[in-house]
Structure 1
Amino acid sequence: MAVVDQRHLKEISELVDSLDGTERRKLLYLCGSLETDASTNFVKEFLKSKYLDSKNGTLFLMELLWRLERFDILKVLYKVSRKDVADNMKYTQVLSKFRWFTCCRVLMVSISDDLDKEDLDKIKFLLSTTVSRQKMNAAETFLDVLIELEKLDSVSAESVDNVHKCFMNVGRVDLAKKIVAYKMSGQHVSQPQSCKTPEIAQWPTHHNGPRGSWGLSQNSLGERQGTSRTGHQSTTGLTESRGSAPFPVSREPSSRTQLEKYNFNTYPRGVCVIIDCVGNGGEMLEQTFCALRFKVIPYKWLSSDEILSVLKGIFSNRENHPGDGFVCCIISRGTVSSILGTDSKGSGIATDCVRRLFTADACPILIGKPKLFFIQTYCVPEHDPCPSMSYWDDNVEPDGCNGPIVHNTIPVDADIFWSHCWTDEHQLEKAQQSIYLKALTEYLRTAQRRKDHLFDAHMEVNSAIFKHNKIHPEANYHIVSKHTLRKSLFLD
């Protein structure tokens, strides 16, 4: 009987240890398992068995990480980039040769990431007569619900009508359309040799959805229709992204798309606003973005109200011409989902609100230009829950608009790159520089010298955090990155 050697046992162990619970659930589901036990030990044993079943266990693990979009782990464990794996998969795909790996499951993982808790609760209620209440209550994600439905033979790769019906009944027409596209593709009746997952992350496509969602319609994908995202927010210190495109889940970019890039050559490139509410890291960012040829506008020690006022008024001054892009950096105490500024009480500003201040409808002057956000939060104990719409409904007005916004030309949520890192506030007491900000400034400058893509620079940041967390597990940094960029962005 074949065995796994010690080196590969170590790789499997490190791989699984780097995944959080949600990612381990995804891994099991993508591998065709209906197991609900996503514990670290179980997943390690599961991967060992699949490794032995594969003719090339290493390629199996690499492709699995690629489909989970954990390119940072690929780089650390196997010294390969996502492009290396993608190029290899053009000729050799391991996972898709297994009968248990289907395009349907790739699609369902993508859809699961696009469902928020409210949507999930509605679906669980609708299915309460189909699946026992006990099992529905235990379901933490949409994948858990799908597993229970598969056990009852209510859902399969060949039969997704029940899923489509659920999405229609809860008002998620955007997701229902993905199911229809999947059925029309014919993939639900035949297993293709190639079923590629997203190469680059995109946010959820809540077409005509509530204002609290990311309103990126399918038109926003343009030539890259089929590219998706990934990501629930990772809490392991490594990045994961959120998949959300219509089926097929992704495709390799065309040669024309690969050549298309943002203009990013003006001097200055654009405005970079830096808000440092803790007095640690702001100057380092200022030096970096000055070197990157941005007009830097620094602020210190702002309350949440003052942060909001500054961000809303940034382009009201005619001298702050946006150039080819915009950067927003915020260093503050807060929570995973909010920024407190210097306030000791209150709910602060929802991080999602910061982004929406610069979308096409709120800030038309930036339509079509890349908007980059880099957020470092030092987490304090949770305050009273803040409404998702705080500081939004009555306070945000379009800025710099000389006419109606043409939504079918440039989508509201297009052209955004979002990078958010958080760690415990006790890291401030040690008077140490943020590992995230230190790596970010270093690799952005390196990318400028090398004329690298923004994604390459951020991959290095992910790797630095991965290494730090491995050496200092008591001082973990957590990072999530996602984007709706329509073109390549090079820091030359």
Structure 2
Amino acid sequence: MEDGVSLKFRQQLLLIAENLVAEDVAALKFLCTDLLPFKKLESVKSAVDIFQLLLAEEYLNEEDTFLLVELLYITKCHSLLKKLGYTKEKVQECLPEKGRVSRYRRMLYELSENISDEMLKDMIFLLQSYLPKRRLTLSALELLIVLEKQRLVTENNVQLLEQVCMNVSPDLLEIVNHYKWAKDNKEANVTQVFSELNLELPGEFSNGENESKKMTSYKMDGPHRGFCLIINNVNFDKDLPERKGSCKDAEELKQVFTWLGLDVVTYKNLTSQEILEVMQTWQNLQDHKDRDCFICCILSHGESGAVYGKDEELVPIRTIMSHFTAKQCSHLAEKPKLFFIQACQGKEIQCPVYVEADARVLDLSSVQHSVSPFESIPEEADFLLGMATIDGYVSFRHVQQGAWYIQALCSKLQLLVPRGEDILSILTEVNEDVSRRVDRLGTKKQMPQPAYTLRRKFVFPIPRDPPPSQQY
């Protein structure tokens, strides 16, 4: 039993638990449904509770940690695998022989991960007569749990899921059909088992079909990841106030993108002309041909569709980005180009003393025609523009803690890149984070807005080192 568990091993488990958020705990509970007593799982409140149950039921010990490794792998907590002596590749090799989570349970979890908020609303509407009337809100996992409790969905009967998915999304239906096919074909080979989970196969099992799946993402396995430019305008020549807290943003961006494998170059307090000159210099750089991508972050004051140089002259965002089209920068053709803009896109509003707006005070008569983020992107593929705020509104920056948007961006990149999330999913999480923030008086809100012409998923390779936030 668990009596012989060493202090060192418990410390190891505690460290892993501290890196798991509420959503991870819910996922672990769900994946353990077939392995642990239901009544005991119902009382679980934290990852530590789950680990305690796994120890008690002898699914986990110092000599055999694979079930926990499998759970972390399925939930895409890949950065935590090394704490148990595993790599992503090693797990993939061991799964066919040592995996304990059933194909059925994995299918349901994958389904929940692919159900968007809009899909969930539609599913709840379709299943209304089967759901408890008192339950006003359900997550995707909770919805599946309710259906299982009522025996409407079982390992041998997924007909109701098929019917609902058929009405809601072909992609969801495909997940269920993969499961049914694999279940009906007892001799399904390893390739099919992995493909149903959208997992990467170990090298010896790779085939043409798996290679075609990889083509849905941008190539990010070259000898060099790419360059990241950071333009940090803090001080201005005339009327615009100092952007206190921006240096913290610039430093965190540098740490995070360095961790992600990019070569970071920072510029500070550039005039409008100098910004354009910097873009011209990097546009002509030959080294882009050996890089996977290009990223540019601009921290400044701004107005609709433009950012200020330190000379308080505006530079259109579209002009900045147009330096890197395939025609202007052939070495970045068909490669992803990401721009993150921390600047207001409208006139300043009154805010508390500890929260400032990145905008000039303007008369209404001087406000130019609004330019949407989509109008700022060149009419070419492979661009992404991440705006701190929607057009016409201010974006907020704490004078000590940094900008809401940049802090959320850095935080979510560190949390979700190790889980294999693509950049649009990450920016959706950033939207959620920033939208929930308010100033200390509870009266000012902000909503970021991404716009893009990406043709494929953009997924950062998972770094070997822990995120910067865990290195200190």
Common fold by TM > 0.5? yes
Q: Counterpart of 1:337?
A: none
- 1:304-349 Cα offsets, whole Å, 9 max, x none, are 7326535653446943334363443537489xxxxx993499xxxx
Q: CA deviation at 1:287?
A: 6.3
Q: Counterpart of 1:175?
A: 172
- 1:332-385 Cα offsets, whole Å, 9 max, x none, are 489xxxxx993499xxxxxxx79x958xxx523x49xxx899x97125634547
- 1:397-430 Cα offsets, whole Å, 9 max, x none, are x8xxxxxxxxxxxxx6415235xxxxxxxxxxxx
Residue 60 of structure 1 pairs with residue 67 of structure 2: yes
* C-alpha distance in 2 between matches for 1:377 and 1:24: 27
SS in 2 for 1:164: helix
Unaligned ranges ≥5, structure 2: 234-245, 255-262, 268-280, 289-293, 308-316, 345-355, 362-372, 389-404, 409-433, 439-443
For 2:338, the aligned partner's letter is C
CA contact (8 A) 2:321 2:377 kept: yes
* C-alpha distance in 1 between matches for 2:75 and 2:147: 23
Q: Counterpart of 1:293?
A: 287
Q: CA deviation at 1:270?
A: 7.9
Match of 2:329 among 313, 320, 328: 320
* C-alpha distance in 1 between matches for 2:228 and 2:154: 49
Residues 55 and 192 of structure 1: CA distance in aligned 2, closer, same or farther (over 3 Å): farther
* C-alpha distance in 2 between matches for 1:154 and 1:191: 27
Residue 137 of structure 1 pairs with residue 86 of structure 2: no
For 1:125, the aligned partner's letter is F
For 2:287, the aligned partner's letter is R
- 1:216-249 Cα offsets, whole Å, 9 max, x none, are xxxxxxxxxx3xxxxxxxxxxxxxxxxxxxx254
Aligned ranges 1:31-180 → 2 under 5 Å: 31-32=32-33, 35-40=41-46, 41-52=48-59, 57-75=64-82, 77-89=83-95, 92-93=97-98, 95-96=99-100, 101-134=101-134, 136-137=135-136, 139=138, 141-169=139-167, 171-180=168-177
CA contact (8 A) 1:109 1:143 kept: yes
CA contact (8 A) 1:111 1:175 kept: yes
CA contact (8 A) 2:147 2:153 kept: yes
CA contact (8 A) 1:63 1:85 kept: yes
Larger radius of gyration, structure 1 or 2? 2
SS in 2 for 1:286: strand
Residues 32 and 54 of structure 1: CA distance in aligned 2, closer, same or farther (over 3 Å): farther
Aligned ranges 1:163-312 → 2 under 5 Å: 163-169=161-167, 171-186=168-183, 226=195, 247-250=196-199, 252=201, 254=206, 262=219, 274=230, 276=232, 278-279=246-247, 280-281=250-251, 285-286=264-265, 293-294=287-288, 299-303=298-302, 305-306=305-306, 308-310=317-319
Residues 194 and 58 of structure 1: CA distance in aligned 2, closer, same or farther (over 3 Å): farther
Residues 164 and 42 of structure 1: CA distance in aligned 2, closer, same or farther (over 3 Å): same
Unaligned ranges ≥5, structure 1: 199-225, 227-246, 335-339, 346-352, 399-411, 419-454, 469-492
Residues 292 and 179 of structure 1: CA distance in aligned 2, closer, same or farther (over 3 Å): farther
Q: Which one has the bigger helix percentage?
A: 2
* C-alpha distance in 1 between matches for 2:27 and 2:56: 17
Q: CA deviation at 1:19?
A: 1.0
CA contact (8 A) 1:51 1:57 kept: no
Match of 1:377 among 399, 403, 406: 406
**Which region of structure 1 is more displaced relative to structure 2, 176-185 or 302-311?**
302-311
For 1:342, the aligned partner's letter is D
For 1:163, the aligned partner's letter is L
- 1:183-202 Cα offsets, whole Å, 9 max, x none, are 22335x8698969987xxxx
Residues 80 and 174 of structure 1: CA distance in aligned 2, closer, same or farther (over 3 Å): closer
For 1:293, the aligned partner's letter is D
For 1:29, the aligned partner's letter is F
Residues 51 and 293 of structure 1: CA distance in aligned 2, closer, same or farther (over 3 Å): farther
Aligned ranges 1:407-486 → 2 under 5 Å: 413-414=455-456, 416-417=458-459, 455=461, 458-460=463-465, 462-468=466-472
* C-alpha distance in 1 between matches for 2:120 and 2:113: 11
CA contact (8 A) 1:274 1:297 kept: yes
Q: CA deviation at 1:263?
A: 9.5
Q: CA deviation at 1:150?
A: 0.9
Residues 264 and 372 of structure 1: CA distance in aligned 2, closer, same or farther (over 3 Å): farther
SS in 1 for 2:265: helix
For 2:380, the aligned partner's letter is C
Residues 85 and 417 of structure 1: CA distance in aligned 2, closer, same or farther (over 3 Å): closer
SS in 2 for 1:178: helix
Residues 417 and 113 of structure 1: CA distance in aligned 2, closer, same or farther (over 3 Å): same
Q: CA deviation at 1:72?
A: 0.9
For 2:11, the aligned partner's letter is K
SS in 2 for 1:165: helix
Residues 43 and 305 of structure 1: CA distance in aligned 2, closer, same or farther (over 3 Å): farther
* C-alpha distance in 1 between matches for 2:175 and 2:118: 20
Q: CA deviation at 1:391?
A: 7.9
Residues 183 and 344 of structure 1: CA distance in aligned 2, closer, same or farther (over 3 Å): farther
- What is the TM-score normalised by the length of structure 1? 0.54
CA contact (8 A) 2:5 2:62 kept: no
* C-alpha distance in 1 between matches for 2:200 and 2:104: 15
CA contact (8 A) 1:276 1:331 kept: no
Q: CA deviation at 1:175?
A: 0.8
* C-alpha distance in 1 between matches for 2:60 and 2:94: 20
- 1:136-168 Cα offsets, whole Å, 9 max, x none, are 4353x2111111111111111211111122223
Residues 12 and 270 of structure 1: CA distance in aligned 2, closer, same or farther (over 3 Å): closer
Residues 167 and 191 of structure 1: CA distance in aligned 2, closer, same or farther (over 3 Å): same
- What is the TM-score normalised by the length of structure 2? 0.56
| Matched length | 332
